[in-house]
Amino acid sequence: MHLALVTAYPPSLGSLNEYGFHLARVLAAKPEVTRLTILADVLPERTGHSRPPDPEHLRRVWRFNDPGNAVRVQRVLREIKPDAVLYNLQFASFGDRKVAAALGLFAPLLSRQGGLPSITLLHNIFETVDLDKAGFGGSSLSNHVTRLAGRLFTRVLLRSHLVALTLPRYVETLRGGYQARNVFLAPHGAFEEPKTPAPLPEGRVVMTFGKFGTYKRVEVLIEAHRLLLERDPALRLVIAGSDSPNARGYLEGVRAQFADVPNIQFTGYVAEADVPGIFAGCTAVAFPYNSTTGSSGVLHQAGEHGRAAVMPRIGDLADLIEEEGYRAEYFEPENAQSLAGALWRVIERPERARELGMANHLAACGLPLADVADWYLLHFQRLQHLGGKRADL
């Protein structure tokens, strides 16, 4: 099979680029995939970090916020003639401007109309997204229109031959609310085959990782850190990652606002090769989220590396805990006192940090991404057998 994968790809700062990297890696290793072509986003001229060379099988063909992305992707697909195409998407994958983001979502439909077996891996659904906290909010009328558009473009995405969803609740929502029969569950999966976790570092280190500024905001975490410094002046806080595409300049503003708070490290963008070291160097991973927009890659990475999680019990994070066996210490969202208390209950006692970390490690071991990739290949083989005539499950 010659498989095409449409995804953001490192060192892109776009959403799902890390997932795209690992999904491409595990697919390329499958014996059924004789050739993999990645159709990725064009990088901005200045990414703020060194750029490694792209692999030979990667082509950067679409641009964030370009309204013509769906057409650009189809043009390249017609040129390379793959046997099937997999889209790795969330609703804002193609842009943070509403028109560009929406028009990009026509790409899977155009692939199907062109006779190419297509599966869309959809990491979030509109019904569970808080528009204001995700950076797409506006007036009540604007939000109402956006919700209607969300339902419309959900139906557009459902015109893929198949739609894969990362959480059971998403599958139930689309089957119940849209009468969709071409959806299936494809859990997030652990990026790497989990190895024996590294020992906890000397001293107490709290780390948070991601793209910040919308529903992931670090002010409450820094306030909790300030409180914890009264108990342990040597405590360190590592804020690893970059701004959300919807909140450019956010972290620089935070750095200036909290310049008086000691023992905080802002790493900036973290290359894939450096991710294991970021997790190995911390005692616990904090999730300073006020809402969620899909399954958490960071929680799966914490599990891979055997680290404790400190998080609010909200939305998709709660689903992951219940469905996949992860464990965490909980706090009240946007409450610095509650967060400080939860962090202290973990980092004060290394045995507690190791207990939670090992539970998360076992959860990650249960479903590596390489196994999830087999499900996609089985569905593609079924689509090829059916000749694209129907895809109801």
Helices 219-229 and 250-257: angle between axes, nearest 10 degrees: 30
Higher pLDDT, 314 or 310: 310
**pLDDT, tens only, 262-279:** 999 999 999 888 999 999
Give residue-wise pLDDT tens across range 271-304.
Answer: 888 999 999 999 999 999 887 666 678 888 999 9
Matching CATH topology for 2-189+368-385 and 205-365?
A: yes
Mean local confidence (pLDDT), 37-53: 77
Q: Which of these, 13, 22, 11, lies nearest to 212 by C-alpha position?
A: 13
Strands in 236-243's sheet, in edge-to-edge order, are: 264-268, 236-243, 205-212, 284-286, 308-311, 329-330
pLDDT for res 157: 94
Inform me whether the pLDDT recorded for 75 exceeds 70: yes
Question: What's the mean per-residue pLDDT of the chain?
Answer: 89
Q: What's the pLDDT at 49? A: 53
pLDDT tier, 323 (very low <50, low <70, confident <90, very high otherwise): confident
Cβ neighbours, 10 Å, residue 296: 23
What's residue 313's pLDDT? 83
Question: In CATH terms, is domain 2-189+368-385 a member of 3.40.50.2000?
Answer: yes
Q: What is the CATH number of domain 205-365?
A: 3.40.50.2000
Q: Is residue 390 predicted with pLDDT exceeding 60?
A: no
Residue 131, pLDDT score: 52
- Calculate what percentage of the chain has a pLDDT beyond 90: 66
Q: What is the per-residue pLDDT for 78? A: 97
Kindly indicate the confidence band of residue 309, based on its pLDDT and cuts at 50, 70 and 90: very high
- 76-117 pLDDT per residue, tens: 999 999 999 999 999 889 998 889 999 999 999 999 999 999
Better-predicted residue by pLDDT, 381 or 14: 381
What's the pLDDT at 129?
A: 61
Domain boundaries, the chain: 2-189+368-385, 205-365
